[in-house]
Amino acid sequence: MFGRQKGAGSADVATFDASLAHFADRVESALGRRASASPGAGAAGGLGFALLALGATFRSGAEFVADLARLDDALQGADWLITGEGRSDLQTLAGKAPLVAARRARAAGVPATLLSGAIDATALPELGPHFAGCFAIPAGPIASAACIAEADTLVADRVEQLARFWAAVHR
């Protein structure tokens, strides 16, 4: 599912999918338990499949972490939530942490803004309804290595600009 996001081409994805299907079939045959089609089987690079094949039950990692961090409590009385990830695209809407945080924020009446290392512009029509603005951290084109090396400065700059905008709108 995330192969293309990580840079794999179509031929690579097809090869990976075939190899993983063969592996899953062998594991399921050996254990006598079906797990590959279960929700969460692809989580954590396939760790979800391994755990399900051994008899575990699935729970969304993003939901688990939100509960562990007591996100709902933190949202009580909050004015704004900023969430993000390395790269936001349509896969973000498959239950990844920013979507879970945004849904919980909405339930608490708190606007959520998406701030990510990169945002696929073609996904904005689907991302937009979930977030009070979607922003990429770099202000313009930048090499990935430079973006990583300068992450602290880039994040600080973008958050400052968002905060200035928020303050101006909420005066």
pLDDT digits (tens, 9 = 90+) for 119-134: 999 999 999 999 999 9
pLDDT tops 80 at residue 106: yes
Name the pTM for this structure: 0.74
Q: What is the mean pLDDT of residues 51-61?
A: 87
pLDDT band with cut points at 50, 70 and 90 for residue 37: confident
Degrees, nearest 5: CA angle 154-160-161: 95
Q: What does the alpha-carbon distance between residue 66 and residue 101 come to, in Å, rounded to a whole number?
A: 7
Sheet holding 134-136, edge to edge: 81-83, 112-116, 134-136
Q: What is the pLDDT of residue 2?
A: 67
Look at residue 26 in the predicted model and tell me its pLDDT.
93
Helix axes 61-68, 97-107, angle to 10 degrees: 50
Q: Output the pLDDT for position 9.
A: 84
| Inter-residue contact 64 to 95 (CB < 8 Å) | no
37 contacts 25 by C-beta, under 8 angstroms:
no
Q: Which of 54-58, 90-94, 116-120, 154-158 has the lowest mean pLDDT?
A: 54-58
Per-domain residue ranges of the chain: 10-53, 61-169
Q: Which residue, among 71, 141, 68, 148, has the nearest Cα to 102 in the 3D structure?
A: 71
Written as six digits, the tokens of 99 are 């979507």
Lowest pLDDT segment from 3-12, 25-34, 99-108: 3-12
3-class SS at 101? helix
CATH of domain 61-169: 3.40.50.10350
Predicted pLDDT of residue 137: 93
